[in-house]
Amino acid sequence: MPTVRCNYYYYEIRIKEYLPQSWAEWFDGMRLTHGVNGETLLTGSLPDQAALHGVLNQICSLGLTLISVNRSEFHSNSVTS
């Protein structure tokens, strides 16, 4: 079986508003963490720029305030198909 190499980037996306945990599914399963100042931090791995744009478009569509986007680490996974 051939092995397909998928490169995922780990993102931290900071939102001004408080988002309930139930909204995680709207953001490609990213983890939601709440700060004491009412901000929400979305964290998780995304496979490509298209997935990142999908998350950012969702933030815009919901009228949320984007504070920052950081790509912090490089992850590589091997998938056998």
* Residue 78 pLDDT: 41
Could you tell me if residue 52 is inside a domain?
Answer: yes
Domain assignment of residue 49, given as a range: 3-75
* Domain count of the fold of the chain: 1
CATH number of the domain at 11, please. Answer: 3.30.70
Residues 12, 70: Cα–Cα separation, whole Å: 5
* Residue 8 pLDDT: 82
The DSSP bridge partners found for residue 43 are 12, 31
- The radius of gyration of the chain from alpha carbons, rounded to an integer in Å, stands at 14
Could you tell me if residue 70 is inside a domain?
Answer: yes
Could you tell me if residue 80 is inside a domain?
Answer: no
Q: Taking the model in full, what pTM does it have?
A: 0.79
pLDDT in 10s for each residue of the chain, 81 residues? 555 556 788 999 999 999 998 888 888 889 999 998 999 999 999 988 899 999 999 999 999 999 999 997 665 554 444
* Residue 64 pLDDT: 96
